[in-house]
Structure 1
């Protein structure tokens, strides 16, 4: 199957969003749907992910690549998971448009992504293609390979001059610390762990076995971006759409490449969790 054209088109969308923002003078973007979230510099989102992608590629220079084997079970799983992703996108938009929908949204996410993903994989049982690939990745690189990229990304995103003095967390200053900690833990499991398990570990893995690395990373990233289209319910504008594509797309590409190269799910959980909550840690100090 020829995948280079849709892959190129998808990467053009993901790369074109920050370029259009920069060209139109929008140098700060909102990276979260939380009411307390403040805008962050565009460079603090794009540059760390680019550096992360480069380090993932270079550490080490060579690693085994997943073999492409398009069996019927993998095809059925991939189609089913993609269908679940599209269903969740539609439901997320509908739910967030309801009064109090933001409170119902996490429950819908768990039911659809976790429940739907489990049903798809159970109905078309087969060994995950990631297992065979992980067995071929040297243990040293499985454990330590992600470290340089994750640390460089975290420093550049939160603490370097690119961050413009750090993310403004003043909106959370009045929260009770116990409540804030419990909320962060809840978000870690319902967003960081669940989303990475579904979009990278489950969906991207099956697409990689069918199409190869970058077509799969791009397709999973676009579905991940589409999942966040509900942000347009509250503020429908081109700028918000481009900002959403930029912030979620950059995270998805980096997490997707991390998963594809090292098959270390803890690395992608950490990156996603840090993107959601690391800026709030100083509130506890």
Structure 2
């Protein structure tokens, strides 16, 4: 029953989280109304990418076999308990960013947290709560003798089947379309050591987030809610996480008006993008494709706060 209605429940939750802020916040209605064309522009390349991914997997893929490997990798894992741990880890992520931001603000520069310190908060918190601790208590799940703990990382990171790299096609097409549509208005940042350092930092952030949200969370939710139920609910959690950490996060793109407003905008931006990331993962189970997509998006839409000193 849970698996059968998983998609309906996940979509209903997403609709409530979008419609609620839109109804109660005039600023949200203005943003949605004034940015409707922008939303269409940003969503359309990802929709096209999803269609391309679907066609490639249908023609050349062996997704059923890959799904069986995922189910086998999850065999023996207490999935519900691990999802509970993941919820606690997300709480830890938010609290860590709050505390580190406060510390760096108090002991940092008089004018506030510098871009370098702000990126340090983003990096340290994600490395700890989305990567190091989850790998210890979730993916290995204490099973180190019989090798079960290495099954999922082998599937996600050691991609040897050529057809699983066909996901490069929808990624490249989506990135090129988004770049064509938005770079005339925003422009690309010029090359610099600062930019390269930020790209390395965001690659680490993308690695942590994609392993946690797609490799760990979505894979488990798919077992409970079905493929699309897992994709949608993971996208909702992904977006809500950015809504919570927005005031303390160097890479967040949300306006920061208030939490209700940011929740709605997070669902319309990070949530929509999360559907594409989730579908890529469901089709190819190749973490490197998701990381490439995330880093490309970061380069195309560089957070304004991180452009300080980029020409130095």
Whether 1:46 aligns to 2:43 is yes
Q: How far apart, in 2, do the equivalents of 1:17 and 1:72 lie?
A: 30
Aligned to 1:245: 267
Count of matched residue pairs: 263
Whole-angstrom distance in 1 between the partners of 2:170 and 2:213: 20
RMSD over aligned CA atoms reads 3.9
Q: 2:235 is matched with which residue: 221, 224, 231?
A: 221
Is 2:254 aligned against 1:257? Answer: no
2:201 paired with 1:204:
no
Larger radius of gyration: 2
Unaligned runs of 5+ in 2: 23-27, 106-117, 249-255, 303-309
Q: 1:276 to 1:85 in 2, by over 3 A?
A: farther
* Offset of residue 269 of structure 1: 1.0
CA distance in 2, matches of 1:164, 1:239: 26
Task: Map residues 99-248 of structure 1 onto 2, 5 A cutoff.
Answer: 99=102, 100=104, 102=118, 103-120=120-137, 121-125=139-143, 126=148, 128=151, 139-144=161-166, 146-160=167-181, 163=182, 165-167=184-186, 177-189=192-204, 191-228=205-242, 229-231=244-246, 235-248=257-270
Give distance in 2, aligned partners of 1:118 and 1:257: 23
The 5-angstrom pairing of residues 86-97 of structure 1 reads: 86-97=87-98
> Structure 1 residues 266 and 166, CA, compared in 2 at 3 Å: closer, same or farther?
farther
Once the two structures are superposed, residues 129-166 of structure 1 have per-residue CA deviations (whole angstroms, 9 ceiling, x without a partner) of 6867999x99342122x133112211222213xx3734
Q: Distance in 2 between matches of 1:133 and 1:184?
A: 22
For 1:217 and 1:9, locate their aligned partners in 2 and report how far apart those are by CA, in whole Å. Answer: 12
Q: Which residue of 2 aligns with 1:59?
A: 56
Cα offsets for 1:38-60 (capped at 9, x unmatched)? xx922232222222222221224
Aligned mates of 2:238, 2:229 — CA distance in 1: 14
- Give the Cα–Cα distance (whole angstroms) in 1 for the partners of residues 74 and 91 of structure 2: 27
User: Which whole-Å CA distance do the structure 2 matches of 1:134 and 1:93 have between them?
Assistant: 27
Cα distance, 1:69–1:177 mapped onto 2, change above 3 Å: closer
Between the aligned partners of 2:98 and 2:156, the Cα distance in structure 1 is 42
- State the Cα deviation string for residues 197-245 of structure 1 (Å, max 9, x = none): 1211233223334543222222322222232122167531433221111
Alignment of 1:10-89 (within 5 A): 10-14=10-14, 24-27=29-32, 41-62=38-59, 63=61, 64-65=63-64, 66-67=67-68, 69=71, 73-77=75-79, 79-80=81-82, 82-89=83-90
Shifted more, 69-78 versus 89-98: the winner is: 69-78
Unaligned runs of 5+ in 1: 31-39
C-alpha spacing 1:187/1:14, structure 2 compared with 1 (3 Å): same
Change over 3 Å in CA distance of 1:15–1:277 after alignment to 2: farther
Q: More deviation in 99-108 or 253-262?
A: 99-108
Going from structure 1 to structure 2, the CA distance change for 1:258 and 1:177 (only over 3 Å counts) comes to same
**Per the alignment, do residues 2 and 237 of structure 1 end up closer, same or farther by CA in structure 2, a change over 3 Å counting?**
closer
Normalized against structure 2, the TM-score is what? 0.68
